[in-house]
C-alpha cells in the first residue's frame, strides 16, 4: 500500500513513523500524541482525509500541526478544498521520494534539514 511505501521512505531517512489504518484510527492516535508532521491521504476508509484535516484544524492543541495531503486525485477542486481547510502542502500520487522529502524540509524548516539526511 502507499502508506507502507511512504513509511519505508521516511524510515530510510531516519524519521520515526507512526501509521494509522484509517481516518478514525488517525484521530484516535492524535488524542495521545502530537507528531511533528502528518501525512494524510484524501481516500481513507471510515473517515476521509478532508474529515481528518477538519478535525485537526478544529482542535486547539492540534491546529498548528503541519499537514501534507497526498492523493491520486489531481483535480483542482480537491487541491482547493484541501488548501481552504489548511493543508501545508498537497502532493499528487504517484510522487517521487525527493518531492516528499522537499515538502517535509520546506514545512519543517531548517531544523528538519538536520533531522533528514
- pLDDT at position 114 over 80: no
pLDDT band at 27 (very low <50, low <70, confident <90, very high): very high
State the pLDDT at residue 26.
94
Cβ proximity of 49 and 23 under 8 Å: yes
Q: CATH classification of 2-115, choosing from 3.30.450.20, 3.40.50.720, 3.40.50.2300, 3.30.1490.20?
A: 3.40.50.2300
What integer is the mean pLDDT of 33-55? Answer: 93
- Quick one: which of 36, 55, 33 has its CA closest to 44? 55
CA dist., res. 48 & res. 46, Å (int): 7
CA dist., res. 87 & res. 46, Å (int): 20
pLDDT band at 115 (very low <50, low <70, confident <90, very high): low
Phi, psi (deg, nearest 5) at residue 39:
-115, 120
Cβ proximity of 79 and 71 under 8 Å: no
Selected residue with higher pLDDT from 78 and 73: 78
Considering the entire predicted model, what is its pTM?
Answer: 0.88
CA dist., res. 8 & res. 10, Å (int): 5
pLDDT band at 100 (very low <50, low <70, confident <90, very high): very high
Amino acid at each position: 500500500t502507499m502508506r507502507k511505501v511512504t513509511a519505508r521512505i521516511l524510515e530510510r531517512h531516519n524519521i520515526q513513523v507512526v501509521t494509522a489504518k484509517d481516518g478514525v484510527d488517525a484521530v484516535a492516535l492524535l488524542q495521545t500524541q502530537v507528531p511533528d508532521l502528518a501525512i494524510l491521504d484524501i481516500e481513507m476508509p471510515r473517515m476521509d482525509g478532508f474529515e481528518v484535516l477538519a478535525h485537526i484544524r478544529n482542535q486547539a492543541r492540534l491546529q498548528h500541526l503541519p499537514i501534507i495531503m497526498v492523493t491520486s486525485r489531481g483535480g483542482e477542486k480537491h487541491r482547493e478544498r484541501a488548501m481552504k481547510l489548511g493543508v501545508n502542502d498537497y502532493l499528487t500520487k504517484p510522487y517521487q521520494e525527493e518531492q516528499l522529502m522537499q515538502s517535509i524540509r520546506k514545512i519543517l524548516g531548517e531544523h528538519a534539514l538536520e533531522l533528514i539526511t
